[in-house]
A and B are shown apart, each in its own frame.
Chain A
Amino acid sequence: MAITAEKPASSTAVRPFTIETPDADLQDLRARILATRWPEKETVDDLSQGTPLATVQALAQYWATEYDWRRCEDLINSYPHFLTEIDGLDVHFLHIRSPHEDALPLLACHGWPGSIVEQLKIIEPLTNPTAHGGQASDAFHVVIPSMPGYGYSGKPSAKGWGPEHIASAWAVLMERLGYDRYVATGGDWGGQIVDLMGAQAPAGLAGIHTNFPGAVRDDVAAAVFSGSPPPAGLDAEETRLYEKLKAFWATDVFYALEMATHPQSLYGIADSPVGLAGWILDHDATSLALITRVFDGQSEGLSRDDVLDNITHYWLTNTGISSGRLYAENTQSFFGPKGVSVPVAVSIFPGELYQAPRSWAERAYPNLIHYNTLDKGGHFAAWEQPELFVNEVRVGLRSLR
């Protein structure tokens, strides 16, 4: 990946950044896709063996013949973006200031298999609300970092960049940008990281919004992980969630456990574009079903270009494995409360891995300022349903202005 960034004047300098992918990289990608050696078709007619052959073949066909990375590259470059070194590592981030000077600064943190590409659709409505159904008082200055090992951020060469470290780095970033009062939002890893920011409660963090709340009761989580019966006293909704998490833990989480225990063995996501695509598509059953329908010609939530923008971004930055190492760094519960003390707004999307009941959210977040259940949207809420998501961020964090 050829990139241009000005030489740092000092380690804390914020250097403008531009993506300039060499043509040779795009040609090599296309050649690899066209040279893909395929497995035979799965032996089932559904998604129960993972990403179906037909879906990956349709994706490869589109990727090699119609997809245009330059459009995505131009879109990213149309926003101001930068590198700055934090704790010895280059951190890449988009930084889009609202025309409304008193806008509230907002840090939006992506997850896996997400990236800054997940957040591109929310930039305009958040920074320029009056052009997108909002009022000037809804405006945000938006900061969208790439996590260590992701996208154009540096790849750690030693251990130590776990979620807590990232959370504290995000506070350093906001301080460096001159924001002394700000909020943060995230989903997936981003949800866990903003939770940890909320627990660390750096000066300036006024509150957080999450669409992936760490709110599963410890006794329920323990029962799920050990395959034990549900704790006594769960109501019907909680029992349903216990069953849902148990099913997830039984069959849907091993991609994460492999990345947590043996990330370096996943050479196929570095060497094979379709290997990477198959791996990224199969994040969760609902997303896979959605993306399968998209490549089958149906239109919803994500477009083919959306999906391939994100995968191509991973490919060109060769971050399949470096991003997976975050799982190996993690020592926290994925779903459990993190001890958040700051105000929290929670949005519950129906296609998310689990839907935290209000009672769990109240217990995990003593200062719960917003709890809302949406009628559509899944794991990649900002990317799938940007309008709904933006409205949630506006409404959820309004009381903190």
Chain B
Amino acid sequence: MSSISPSPSRRGFLSLSAATIAAATVGAVSSNRAAASSAGLDTAADPRIRRFHVNEPQRKLLELRRRVLATQWPEEETVPDQSQGVQLATMQALAHYWATKYDWRKCEARINSYPHFITEIDGLDIHFLHVRSKHEGALPLLVTHGWPGSIVEQLKIIEPLTNPTAHGGKASDAFHLVIPSMPGYGYSGKPTTTGWELNRIARAWAELMKRLGYTKYVAQGGDWGAIVTEVMAVQAPAGLLGIHTNLPGVVPPAIDAAIQAGNPLPPNLSAEEKRACDQLAFVYQHIAYARIMGDRPQTLTGLVDSPIALAAFMLDHDKASLNSISRTFAGQPGFGLSRDDVLDNVTHFWLTNTGVSSSRLFWENKTPFFAVKGIKLPVAVSVFPDEIYQAPRSWAEKAYVKLLRYNKLPVGGHFAAWEQPQLFSEELRASFRSLR
């Protein structure tokens, strides 16, 4: 979103009129089965798949602005750095921008510019973007976001992946893209009972691809998306040719357990492996946010009642991205995310009231984040330098019996598709070339 210039007709928080407020009486979202035919897609033929359109009521945007402006702030942190979390100055700069300049309608229009849909799978509404390439031989690709990610994370890669000839690629690089919102996230339904853990999500994704008529496809993910994608690969549904991950689960289980327990590591680790262990130890020391979500999601009421609480919790995902986003809001260019990028995602979470429902995925999860899962399908790995750990090739080769590709990138972090969409798209093209 960073490349979009301000629209002269922006309908941001600032330009609200009584007329627009009065007119905004429709629901937040609408889904219309009949409209699906206008998309001209194969999927329109399936009556289970309903066209979807985001149209947030103006009153919700006004209410968000009111809350941001009414924030009760804590005092400043007692350190001059980010070691106590998101600094007050960062949050106040974010709040100021959010309440005075940020324009959700731009993001909404961008999402709506792509065909998106809802279909019920296993009793739950699943929302997904489905963007078909004009190149008929394109390879279908399912991309899964993580936390605190969403479909917003993936918007920048849609054009380069579906329309490669306009973005430095060849027609033979083209993908048909499917980008679902996980259960409890975005415009997907919120489970009301337990059971929507990763295995079930992975099975639902296979059903989604089948329902869309794709008999051969690949899948990709980072963060939770990587784990869902790996679980899909373990399940190996008919049609799944291979996967790509930018957060590979390749840590040998014994080493993973030793790191978590603070026990001595095996003596024969390479320098690269030792570095990965140190990085993972840091992650485990700073993962209390995830453990609270895993143990007490319902206790995080503040995430749905306070926009600033939600924003801060989302900003404080990992050290590198917090540092980068803090620089962005301090007016120093970060390495890929703009203020609008960050707030598109936070606002998406806010307007869908998914702070707690998205957290329940952590509660549901029983799968180790980083440990080897036993995948037999082909796997491609991209290692970004600011990811929470850099998976060594040695571990990747052991974890994935069919390692298609292993590549280290010069820039990029945890939100690779969002931060470095061009590099990321090139990684996917190169990774899956041999599976076409």
Q: Give the complex CA separation of A266 and B76 in angstroms.
A: 12
A77 lies within 8 A of chain B by Cβ: no
Residues of A within 8 A of B23 (CB): none
Q: Is the CB of B301 within 8 A of A274?
A: yes
Please pick, from A32, A51, A262, A325, the residue contacting B78 in the complex, using a CB distance under 8 A: A325
Having A228-B263, A254-B291, one finds 6 other A-B pairs with CB under 8 Å, namely A228-B261, A264-B84, A267-B74, A267-B311, A268-B300, A275-B300
Q: Give the complex CA separation of A325 and B298 in angstroms.
A: 23
Q: Is the CB of A274 within 8 A of B305?
A: yes
In the complex, what residue of chain B is closest to A257 when comparing beta carbons? B288
Q: Is the CB of A37 within 8 A of B305?
A: yes
Q: Is the CB of B302 within 8 A of A272?
A: yes
Which of A13-21, A152-160, A167-175 binds B? A152-160
Which of A91-99, A185-193, A300-308, A314-322 binds B? A314-322
Q: Is the CB of A255 within 8 A of B292?
A: yes
Q: Give the complex CA separation of A328 and B194 in angstroms.
A: 34
Q: How many residues of B contact A (CB 8 A)?
A: 59
Q: Is the CB of B194 within 8 A of A44?
A: yes
**Chain A 215-253 interface residues, beta-carbon cutoff 8 Å to B:** 225-228, 251-252
Please pick, from B84, B257, B263, the residue contacting A262 in the complex, using a CB distance under 8 A: B84
Known: A49-B296, A282-B296. A265 touches B304 (CB 8 A): no
Residues of B within 8 A of A266 (CB): 85, 302, 309, 312
A362 lies within 8 A of chain B by Cβ: no
Please pick, from A43, A158, A269, A275, the residue contacting B193 in the complex, using a CB distance under 8 A: A43
Residues of A within 8 A of B280 (CB): none
Measured CB to CB, the residues of B under 8 A from A are 70-79, 84-88, 91, 190-194, 257, 260-263, 285-286, 288-289, 291-292, 294-306, 308-313, 315-316, 353, 355-357, 360, 363
Q: Is the CB of B85 within 8 A of A264?
A: yes
A258 lies within 8 A of chain B by Cβ: yes
B367 CB to nearest A CB, Å = 17
Q: Give the complex CA separation of A318 and B76 in angstroms.
A: 12
Residues of A within 8 A of B295 (CB): 50, 251-252, 254
Residues of A within 8 A of B75 (CB): 155, 157, 318, 321-322
Q: Is the CB of B301 within 8 A of A271?
A: no
Q: Is the CB of A50 within 8 A of B78?
A: no
Residues of B within 8 A of A272 (CB): 301-302, 305-306, 309
Residue picked from A53, A262, A265, A277, most chain B C-beta under 10 Å: A265
Q: Is the CB of A267 within 8 A of B309?
A: yes
Q: Is the CB of B309 within 8 A of A278?
A: no
Q: Is the CB of A50 within 8 A of B71?
A: no
Q: Give the complex CA separation of A222 and B263 in angstroms.
A: 11
Q: Pick 5 A–B contacts, CB within 8 A, sort by A.
A: A38-B301, A39-B357, A157-B75, A266-B302, A274-B305
Residue picked from B76, B91, B262, B295, most chain A C-beta under 10 Å: B295
In the complex, what residue of chain B is closest to A250 when comparing beta carbons? B295
A396 lies within 8 A of chain B by Cβ: no
Residues of A within 8 A of B312 (CB): 264-268
Residues of A within 8 A of B292 (CB): 254-255, 258
Residues of A within 8 A of B360 (CB): 43, 49
Q: Give the complex CA separation of A391 and B297 in angstroms.
A: 39
A364 lies within 8 A of chain B by Cβ: no
Q: Give the complex CA separation of A49 and B309 in angstroms.
A: 19
Residues of B within 8 A of A51 (CB): 296, 298-299, 301
In the complex, what residue of chain A is closest to B195 when comparing beta carbons? A43
Q: Is the CB of A56 within 8 A of B262?
A: no
Residues of A within 8 A of B301 (CB): 38-39, 51, 56, 268, 272, 274-275, 277-279
Q: Is the CB of B353 within 8 A of A37?
A: yes
Q: Give the complex CA separation of A43 and B358 in angstroms.
A: 12
Q: Is the CB of A40 within 8 A of B85?
A: no
Residues of B within 8 A of A38 (CB): 301, 304-305
A113 CB to nearest B CB, Å = 12
Q: Is the CB of B79 within 8 A of A39?
A: no
B366 CB to nearest A CB, Å = 13
In the complex, what residue of chain A is closest to B364 when comparing beta carbons? A43
A7 lies within 8 A of chain B by Cβ: no
Q: Give the complex CA separation of A156 and B363 in angstroms.
A: 35
Q: Give the complex CA separation of A281 and B299 in angstroms.
A: 8
B9 CB to nearest A CB, Å = 29
Q: Is the CB of A264 within 8 A of B86?
A: yes
Q: Is the CB of B298 within 8 A of A39?
A: yes
B69 CB to nearest A CB, Å = 12
Residues of B within 8 A of A260 (CB): 288
Residues of A within 8 A of B85 (CB): 261-266
Residues of A within 8 A of B299 (CB): 49-51, 255, 278-279, 281-282
A361 lies within 8 A of chain B by Cβ: no
Q: Give the complex CA separation of A49 and B295 in angstroms.
A: 6
Please pick, from B79, B257, B315, the residue contacting A159 in the complex, using a CB distance under 8 A: B79
In the complex, what residue of chain A is closest to B86 when comparing beta carbons? A265
Q: Is the CB of A261 within 8 A of B286?
A: yes
A256 CB to nearest B CB, Å = 8
Please pick, from B190, B291, B298, the residue contacting A53 in the complex, using a CB distance under 8 A: B298
Q: Is the CB of B302 within 8 A of A279?
A: yes
Q: Give the complex CA separation of A155 and B76 in angstroms.
A: 10
B175 CB to nearest A CB, Å = 35
Q: Give the complex CA separation of A38 and B308 in angstroms.
A: 15
Q: Is the CB of A261 within 8 A of B288?
A: yes
Q: Give the complex CA separation of A98 and B139 in angstroms.
A: 83
Residues of A within 8 A of B193 (CB): 43
B180 CB to nearest A CB, Å = 20
What 1/0 mask marks residues of chain A from 49 to 80 whose CB sits below 8 Å from any chain B CB? Answer: 11111001000000000000000000000000
Residues of B within 8 A of A41 (CB): 192
Q: Is the CB of B289 within 8 A of A262?
A: yes
Q: Give the complex CA separation of A158 and B81 in angstroms.
A: 12
A116 lies within 8 A of chain B by Cβ: no
Residues of B within 8 A of A40 (CB): 190, 192, 353, 356-357
A183 CB to nearest B CB, Å = 32
Q: Give the complex CA separation of A156 and B72 in angstroms.
A: 19
Residues of B within 8 A of A263 (CB): 77, 84-85
A143 lies within 8 A of chain B by Cβ: no
Residues of A within 8 A of B297 (CB): 42, 49-50
B39 CB to nearest A CB, Å = 31
In the complex, what residue of chain B is closest to A47 when comparing beta carbons? B298
Residue picked from B70, B261, B289, B296, most chain A C-beta under 10 Å: B296
A330 lies within 8 A of chain B by Cβ: no
Residues of B within 8 A of A157 (CB): 75-76, 78
A336 CB to nearest B CB, Å = 16
A199 lies within 8 A of chain B by Cβ: no
Residues of A within 8 A of B311 (CB): 267
Residues of A within 8 A of B88 (CB): 264
In the complex, what residue of chain A is closest to B308 when comparing beta carbons? A267
Please pick, from A56, A227, A265, A271, the residue contacting B72 in the complex, using a CB distance under 8 A: A271
Please pick, from B194, B262, B298, B308, the residue contacting A271 in the complex, using a CB distance under 8 A: B308
A36 lies within 8 A of chain B by Cβ: yes
A344 lies within 8 A of chain B by Cβ: no
B361 CB to nearest A CB, Å = 11
Please pick, from A255, A257, A328, the residue contacting B296 in the complex, using a CB distance under 8 A: A255
Q: Is the CB of B302 within 8 A of A325?
A: no
A71 CB to nearest B CB, Å = 23
B18 CB to nearest A CB, Å = 22
A86 lies within 8 A of chain B by Cβ: no
Residues of A within 8 A of B315 (CB): 265
